[in-house]
Structure 1
Amino acid sequence: MTDPSLIARARALADAGPRQLLGIAGAPGAGKSTLAAGIVAALGDMAALVPMDGFHLAGAELHRLGRQARKGAIDTFDGAGYVALLRRLRFPDDATVYAPEFRREIEEPVAGAVPVPPSVRLVVTEGNYLLVPEHPWDGVRPLLDEVWFLDPGEDVRLRRLTERHVRYGRDLAEATARAYGPDQVNAERIAATAGRADLVLRPGSSVDR
């Protein structure tokens, strides 16, 4: 279950309205999706979940660029497109905004899959690179009212990540190689951005900035 204190903090952010954006960042396997979904479920219709993963480049484009083996690295996402969507969400008009969604069953993004109506007061977005200071990702942080960074500890994170790769069809050896190889390179880059978060969540403690 999601920590009640985090739900309360998210609810207070929503109440600051008319619309607020909450970012949840962390390395692969940190638990971002679980926390984000828990918050949105607890807040009901006042909240919507818009993951960064909807901005994965399509498989055909990754092949064209020679980046398929590094899928998940920062240059395998449309960072500028993500910033543009956050800007639309941050300054809404009277129209529903449609966001893309990454579908694990096909390993592809699907456009227009996530509706965010004008009545939504809190948009929760989660992803790896929300706090990266380089262009175009440096446009993300100014659009977010708060960012929480998840750090469950490396042993826990790597175990979760390996298990996730296995669930999605890799054998254990391949899953382990992926988690400790390309994914770890990304994780180290992401860990270096934790200092830009408003709240860092670690087991047994949190750091409020």
Structure 2
Amino acid sequence: MTTVHTIEELTALLPDPAPGRRTLLGIAGPPGAGKSTVAAALAGLDPEHHALVPLDGFHLADQALVALGLLDRKGAPETFDAHGYAALLARLASAPGHTVYAPAFERRLEQPLANALPVAPSCTLIITEGNYLLLDAPGWRDVRSHLDEVWFVDVEPGLRRRRLVARHILFGKTPAAAEDWVRRVDEPNAARVAATRDRADRILDLSEWRLC
């Protein structure tokens, strides 16, 4: 495990660029570990050549989750379009000479937004982050096959849970509802993600992370 404190330390770990093709870097880890913060920081280092394409854009919409009886499990592996996500990664890896538009996720709406993230032809490093990049299951295996490296982000569990509760409150849940969701949904998902940890190319401890 590598303890990371700063963006400079993180940058030093980036894989060497592959001549003539794009590099796809996955950042996995349990809910609240800091994946999105790290991914955004890396993408922001060179916006012309780095692009961020999060897994969250492949959340199934609530309408689909209701039809499947999965709305109360939103965030579990089966509530994502893993096959669609893998197909987009394959398209991005092929480095087409045109802009590719990826979906995003709007947290205030709690819904995916189609075609919200442009990936320009100039992008040579694609950074994607999500809980289940290392999951050994249909669709998710295809996701892993398109990634050159996958980093697993870890933090102290108590800190991670506090972050999750604060995030749910920020986006509209009451404190009691936030605590209940973390206990009932996020923590079972976190346990499933933790079981994939040993499949990562690199494990990062971000308990002492500071963005500077």
- Shorter-chain TM-score: what band? over 0.9
Root-mean-square deviation (Å): 1.6
Q: Which moved more, 1:20-29 or 1:136-145?
A: 136-145
Deviates more, 1:86-95 or 1:121-130: 86-95
| Structure 1 gap ranges (5+) | none
Deviation at 1:204, TM superposition (A): 7.1
> Counterpart in 2 of 1:133?
136
Distance, in Å, in 1 between the alignment partners of 2:33 and 2:86 is: 22
Residue 8 of structure 1 aligns to which amino acid in structure 2?
A
- Cα deviations across residues 27-53 of structure 1 (Å, max 9, x unaligned)? 100000000000111123110000000
In the alignment, the residues of structure 2 paired with residue 14 and residue 179 of structure 1 have an alpha-carbon distance, to the nearest angstrom, of 38
TM-score normalised by L of structure 1:
0.93
State the match for 2:149 in structure 1. 146
Identical-pair percentage: 49
Greater helix content = 1
Shift of residue 179, structure 1, vs aligned partner: 0.8
Displacement over 2 Å in runs of 4+: 12-18
Is 1:4 the equivalent of 2:8?
yes
Task: Indicate the larger mover: 12-21 or 76-85.
Answer: 12-21
* 2:24 alignment partner, one of 3, 21, 25: 21
- Preserved contact between residue 92 and residue 100 of structure 2 (Cα < 8 Å): yes
Equivalents in 1 of 2:18, 2:90: separation in Å? 20
Asked if the contact 1:20/1:145 (under 8 Å) is kept, the reply is yes
Equivalent runs, 1:28-39 vs 2, <5 Å: 28-39=31-42
| Distance in 1 (alpha carbons) for counterparts of 2:9 and 2:16 | 12
The one of 166, 171, 174 equivalent to 1:168 is 171
Flag the 1:17–1:6 CA change in 2: closer, same or farther, 3 A: farther
1:159 maps to which of 128, 142, 162: 162
Deviation for aligned residue 1:16 = 5.3
Q: Is the 8 A contact 1:23 1:130 kept in 2?
A: yes
- What is the CA–CA distance in structure 2 between the aligned matches of 1:110 and 1:204, rounded to whole Å? 31
Q: Which amino acid aligns with 2:12?
A: A
Alignment CA distance shift 1:159-1:95 (3 Å): same
Higher RCO (CA < 8 A, seq sep 6+) = 2
For structure 2, the 5+ residue unaligned runs are none
Query: Cα distance, 1:15 vs. partner?
Result: 6.3
Q: Distance in 1 between matches of 2:91 and 2:130?
A: 18
| Structure 1: distance between partners of 2:186 and 2:90 | 28
Counterpart in the other structure of 1:114: 117
Structure 1 position 183 matched with structure 2 position 186 = yes
SS in structure 1 of the partner of residue 72 of structure 2: helix
Q: TM-score w.r.t. structure 2 length?
A: 0.91
